[in-house]
Structure 1
Amino acid sequence: MVAREQFQLDLKSIKDEIIQLAMLTEDALIKAVDALYNQDITLANQIIANDKLVDKRELDINNKAVLLIAKQQPVAKDLRRLIIALKITTDLERMGDHAKNIAEATIELGEHYLLTVHPAVKEMRDIAIEMVRVAINAIKYEDISVARKLSKMDDSMDELYETIIREMLEETATNPEKVQYVMQMAFSARYIERFADHITNIGESILFLVKGESFDLN
């Protein structure tokens, strides 16, 4: 096999691993919000433990990308592909961290805490999951029209986040004894909002890869 063909196979392998990492972060967020709603401390601890797998996958992908840059000295779009791979894996690792943070909020509240999770938290989670799937397609096909869809989805996320924060502040004003509950709900909503921001960063990375120009989807 000639060197160029091997290089293209290596690029495809990195892309496939990035998509698998994105799916891991999606699964982590789904389970993290489920743990919050169900006050499932066992599941929350499992999510925290599994975050080490996300960290390892990020490191493995980054090492492969850096090695390819060093060995092949790519130029133009191939170089952009590898630089973007490094950026995307960083965003995915941070998305995993935000899912872990939600799990930690669940543990902070405890399984005996009498709480009702704001319904918009699950709505935010559902939007974030749809954004991950859109981003995966943008990565897979290097499709800028798909990547641009993330901007409007992120706007919906921001609106829900603002609604939750406003209502949580009102809850604190009328029920000061619920400060701990309000804090953890606000934190959890913020973690999902930040999770989505990293997905828009991925969309921007795809736009840069294809166009060679910087774009702002936030």
Structure 2
Amino acid sequence: MSLRKDFDEHLQQLKQDVLEMSRRSQTAVQQAMEALKSQNEELANEVIAGDEAIDELEHSINDRAIILIAKQAPVASDLRKIMVAIKVSSDVERIGDQAVNIAKSTLHIGQEKHIKPIVDIPNMMNMALAMVDDGVRSFQNEDVKLARVVAKRDDAVDEMYGKLVQELIGYIPKHPEHMNQITQLAFVCRYIERVADHVTNISENVIYLVTGNRYDLND
């Protein structure tokens, strides 16, 4: 096997590991939201426990990337691919962390009756997860156009975040006895908003991967 073919296969495996990590993080967010809606504390604890596997996969990606750099001495374009894989895996890992945060908020709320049906927050989560799905696809296919489109959708998530938090704040005078729940639900909204922010970071790195230029898509 030629050195180039060997390198390309290792690089492809690196990308596949990032994609697998993304699948796990997305599943964790979905499960965390289901736990919140149904007040399923057992499921929330499973999400928290499962984060270790996501962390271990990130460590594996980092180790594989370091070995590739050390053994293959990649040229500039190949080095970008390795470095972007590391950066994307970091944002994917943080998406998994947001799932843990949502699960912990679920545990803080416990079995206290919800002050309102948990509908709008999952809708916001669906928007953010759709961004994750497309953002990771832009990385997989090195699709700059899709990366830019995905990043623009962050504005809609930010807008929904602002509306939901304002609504929750409005419940405080009416339901002061539920202050803990209101606070935790506001935190959950923030965690989902952070998921979308991490996808914007992924989009920026996809653009850098393909063009070699850095762009700030958070403006």
User: TM-score if structure 2 supplies the norm length?
Assistant: 0.96
Residue in structure 2 matched with residue 52 of structure 1 by the alignment = 52
**In 2, distance between residues paired with 1:118 and 1:214?**
39
Q: Residues 81 and 209 of structure 1 are in contact (CA less than 8 Å); yes or no, is this contact kept in structure 2?
A: yes
CA deviation after TM superposition for structure 1 residue 36, in Å: 0.2
Residue in structure 1 matched with residue 14 of structure 2 by the alignment = 14
Residue in structure 2 matched with residue 113 of structure 1 by the alignment = 112
**In 2, distance between residues paired with 1:152 and 1:80?**
24
Q: Residues 172 and 178 of structure 1 are in contact (CA less than 8 Å); yes or no, is this contact kept in structure 2?
A: yes
CA deviation after TM superposition for structure 1 residue 173, in Å: 2.6
Asked whether 1:100 is paired with 2:100, we answer: yes
Residue in structure 1 matched with residue 179 of structure 2 by the alignment = 179
Give a deviation string over 1:166-215, Cα, whole Å, max 9, x none.
11111113322121011100000100100110011001100000111111
Q: Residues 36 and 117 of structure 1 are in contact (CA less than 8 Å); yes or no, is this contact kept in structure 2?
A: no
CA deviation after TM superposition for structure 1 residue 58, in Å: 0.4
Q: Residues 39 and 106 of structure 1 are in contact (CA less than 8 Å); yes or no, is this contact kept in structure 2?
A: yes
User: TM-score if structure 1 supplies the norm length?
Assistant: 0.97
Q: What is the DSSP-based 3-state SS (H/G/I as helix, E as strand, rest coil) of the residue aligned with 2:216? A: coil
- Alignment map for 1:188-207 (pairs within 5 Å): 188-207=188-207
**In 1, distance between residues paired with 2:124 and 2:182?**
17
Aligned Cα RMSD in Å?
Answer: 1.0
Residue in structure 2 matched with residue 126 of structure 1 by the alignment = 126
**In 2, distance between residues paired with 1:97 and 1:163?**
24
Q: Residues 151 and 199 of structure 2 are in contact (CA less than 8 Å); yes or no, is this contact kept in structure 1?
A: no
**In 2, distance between residues paired with 1:196 and 1:117?**
23
Q: Residues 118 and 164 of structure 1 are in contact (CA less than 8 Å); yes or no, is this contact kept in structure 2?
A: no
Give a deviation string over 1:133-192, Cα, whole Å, max 9, x none.
101211111000011111221111001100111111111133221210111000001001
Give a deviation string over 1:16-56, Cα, whole Å, max 9, x none.
11011111111011111110000000100000010001000
Q: Residues 18 and 89 of structure 2 are in contact (CA less than 8 Å); yes or no, is this contact kept in structure 1?
A: yes
Q: Residues 136 and 202 of structure 2 are in contact (CA less than 8 Å); yes or no, is this contact kept in structure 1?
A: no
Q: What is the DSSP-based 3-state SS (H/G/I as helix, E as strand, rest coil) of the residue aligned with 2:153? A: helix
Q: Residues 172 and 179 of structure 2 are in contact (CA less than 8 Å); yes or no, is this contact kept in structure 1?
A: yes
**In 2, distance between residues paired with 1:62 and 1:135?**
20
**In 2, distance between residues paired with 1:117 and 1:83?**
43
**In 2, distance between residues paired with 1:60 and 1:117?**
40
Q: Which is worse superposed, 81-90 or 167-176?
A: 167-176
CA deviation after TM superposition for structure 1 residue 118, in Å: 4.3
Q: Which runs of 5+ in 2 are unaligned?
A: none
Equivalent residue letter for 2:8: Q
Q: Residues 29 and 99 of structure 1 are in contact (CA less than 8 Å); yes or no, is this contact kept in structure 2?
A: yes
**In 2, distance between residues paired with 1:70 and 1:180?**
50
Q: Which is worse superposed, 174-183 or 193-202?
A: 174-183
